Amino acid sequence: MPWGRVRAVPLTPAVRAAKRAAVDCFGTQVRPLGPLPDDRAVLPPEVLAHFDRDFEVLLDMSGPA
């Protein structure tokens, strides 16, 4: 991993809202399909939390290593 290229990019509230709306489009992944334990959402809350941070982690590959 080229750790020196890792960048945390802050996200505006509007961008965060757009990301939330996009993730919410995948209902079968983020909401239970029914009341039974096997009907639970595929993505658990701790995974979904990564999509709701106020920053995005990117690799900057624009220049020499």
Task: In whole angstroms, give the CA distance from residue 59 to residue 17.
Answer: 23
Q: What confidence tier does 63 reach under pLDDT thresholds 50, 70, 90?
A: confident
What is the DSSP secondary structure assignment for residue 59, as one 8-state letter?
A: E
CA distances for 14 relative to 10, 27, 41, angstroms: 12, 21, 26
List of residues 6+ apart from 65 with CB closer than 8 A: 2, 4, 5
Adjacent-strand bridge partners of 6? 59
Helix (H, G, I), strand (E, B) or coil at 32: coil
* Span 19-60, pLDDT tens digits: 999 998 988 888 888 999 888 888 888 988 988 999 999 999
